Amino acid sequence: MPAPLSKTAATAWARLMRAQQGSIAGVEETLRRAGFPALVWYDVLLELERPPGDGLRQRDIQRHTLLKRYNVSRIVERLETDGLIVRTPCEDDARGAVIRITKKGRELRRAMWPVYAAAIKESFARHYSEEEMATLAELLGPIAK
């Protein structure tokens, strides 16, 4: 039988979850007040900017962003409707599509970044020194896959 969960581990877990939820909510509210779409749009557009212009399959977006399949489908449809991405048929799979970011999508993602960065600073970074953030990043490394 495995050892019981320590009180310290349970407390750390609860604080990590509360911190994550509170920080995301703060970032979302900041983006909303600035007139931008949800944070998930930024995440998808950022992932589409990373490859060297080849685009991504929908399943790759799901894997890179940790979104649920149905959420990716919905977001991709909305991004396409707004002209932020384009879908083109996949050469090696007739049923699939490659999703690429458009110039408009790049512009939106870049416009969102200063607001997003300020929200990260306000909800997270201002509470810690650079050394503390480096330690935190190292501590979270093994579980942040």
% of the chain beyond a pLDDT of 90: 72
Give the relative orientation of helices 7-33 and 103-123 as an angle to the nearest 10 degrees. Answer: 130
pLDDT at residue 60, as a whole number: 86
> What are the residue ranges in the chain where pLDDT is below 50?
none
Residue 124 maps to a domain = yes
Query: How many distinct structural domains can be found in the chain?
Result: 1
Residue 113 maps to a domain = yes
Residue 121 maps to a domain = yes
| Residue ranges making up the domain that contains 22 | 9-140
Residue 20 maps to a domain = yes
- How many whole angstroms separate alpha carbon 50 and alpha carbon 125? 24
CATH number, domain containing residue 91: 1.10.10.10
Residue positions counted in the chain: 145
Residue 79 maps to a domain = yes
- How many whole angstroms separate alpha carbon 78 and alpha carbon 59? 17
Q: Where are the alpha helices (DSSP H) in 36-101?
A: 39-49, 58-65, 69-81
Residue 76 maps to a domain = yes
- How many whole angstroms separate alpha carbon 69 and alpha carbon 71? 5
Q: pLDDT digits over 64-85, tens only?
A: 887 787 788 899 999 999 999 9
Residue 71 maps to a domain = yes
